[in-house]
Amino acid sequence: VQLQACGGGLVQAGGSLRLSCAASGRTLSRYDIGWFRQAPGKEREFVAAITWSSGSTYVQDVVKGRFTISRDNAVNTVYLQMNHLTPEDTAVYYCAAGLYSGNHGYTSSRGYDYWGQGTQVTVSS
């Protein structure tokens, strides 16, 4: 499955962005989807995930209440709505798909087999 992440950009602190993760080649409906991010000089970290089976969501504590993950299987797309952005949210955001992400708690990159190319999010203060 090929993933295409888009929707990043430059936004002022307090602003919002909605990232999209679109799939081609296979339907996303049978995959767990995760969003990860990597800031300069830092390791890639988990942001949010949504399961294929029940639509349950997992969100990192630091973004909880500000970021929302959702999926629309009809258009083979997963979204990450990001509100109240801060400069600490600046990073390249990646979406990833996995069949057995639950074996790694949905929050580990090891649970995802397919990765998109990333989209840059820059939040200015």
Using one digit for the tens of pLDDT, what is the confidence trace for 7-20? 999 999 999 999 99
CB atoms within 10 A of CB 84: 13
Query: Looking at 1-125, which runs of residues are DSSP E strands?
Result: 2-6, 9-12, 17-24, 32-38, 45-50, 57-59, 67-72, 77-82, 91-98, 114-115, 119-124
* Residue with more model confidence, 99 or 120: 120
pLDDT tens-digit profile of 68-119? 999 998 889 999 999 999 999 999 999 999 998 888 889 999 999 999 999 9
